[in-house]
Each structure stands twice: as C-alpha cells, then as structure tokens.
Amino acid sequence: MRWLKTWWPALAWAVVISGFSTGAFTAEHTSRIIIPILHWFLPNAPAKTLYAIHHMIRKCGHFTEYFVLSLLILRGIRAGRPGSRLDWALAAIAIVAGYAALDELHQYFVPGRTAAVGDVLIDTSGGIAAQAVAALVMLWGHVRQKQREEAGAQTDA
C-alpha cells in the first residue's frame, strides 16, 4: 500500500481530468458561464473576441490540468526519494502524453465533445513545462544549498 500513498494524488487528479472530459464541460456549456463573465469585464468587446478569449481559456485549462498531473506523476515516481533524474522526468512526460491521448479518445465518444490531436499536444506541452519547472526548482535548490555551504565555510575560516 506504500505505492498508494505516493500515487493517490496523481490518480485523484486523473479522475478530475476525466470529469472535465464529460458532456458537462463542452464549449457550449462552459460558454454559458465564461462568456457573461468576460462580457462583464469587457463590456465593449465584440462577441467574436469574447469567444476567442473563451477558447484560449479552455486551451489554458488543458495546459494547466496536465501541468499539475505531470508534477503529481513525478511525485509518484520519486516515491520520496531525494534528487531528480532525467528518466523520472521522461517517464512522467510519457505517462502524461499517454493519458492525454486516452482522454481525447474518450472525448471522441462523448456527445458534444471532439477528439483533437492539438489538445494532446497542448496537454503534453503542459507536462513538459512542469518537468522543466521541477528541474529548475531542483537546480535552484542545489545552488542555494551550495551557497549556504560556502557561506558557512567562510564563517568557520
């Protein structure tokens, strides 16, 4: 059951993503909420602009969902082990890409939804970006640790 301790957040988030792939989250349904909000913020914007912004919000949602999934998968792969490894990041990206493709395949069978290769690419880009951010955070942590050690050595001298 130790694997469940490290993997439950990724599994739970995958379920949330699947929920977003249902008919309740079609562009038609989300536009009923998002377009009025956009219109309130941008009362003089033409409808075409509001729908374009709505489309971008939806695509940013794809990116963000899979950014988070990628980090949670990395957490599961690391399983509490310290450090960072390229193969862990690549495995997380591969899992994200596979799940994104399965999610789009699922949407093909959902009324009101479509499957789009472009969405898989956006989703995978979110996963790649998450791994890049994780690597930068790890690198920054190592740099800060080295600076603290050097400062401590200078103080002791």
- Dist CA 91 CA 157 (whole Å): 44
- Is a pLDDT exceeding 70 seen at residue 2? yes
111 near 24, Cβ under 8 Å?
A: no
Domain of 151 in residue numbering reads as 2-156
- Dist CA 64 CA 66 (whole Å): 5
| Mean pLDDT of the residues in the chain | 90
Residue 84 zone, left/alpha/beta (φ > 0; ψ -120 to 50; rest): beta
- Is a pLDDT exceeding 70 seen at residue 156? no
Residues of the chain above pLDDT 90, percent: 63
- Dist CA 72 CA 67 (whole Å): 9
Length of the chain: 157
pLDDT at position 148, please?
A: 81
Q: What is the pLDDT of residues 77-128, one digit of tens each?
A: 988 777 778 899 999 999 999 999 999 999 999 888 888 999 999 999 999 9
Torsion of CA 141, 142, 145, 150, to 10 degrees: -140
Q: Give the DSSP letter string of 14-34.
A: HHHHHHHTSGGGSHHHHHHHH
What is the pTM (predicted TM-score) of this model?
A: 0.86
Domain count, the chain: 1
- Is a pLDDT exceeding 70 seen at residue 157? no
- Dist CA 129 CA 60 (whole Å): 13
| 143 against 65, higher pLDDT | 65
- Dist CA 26 CA 19 (whole Å): 11
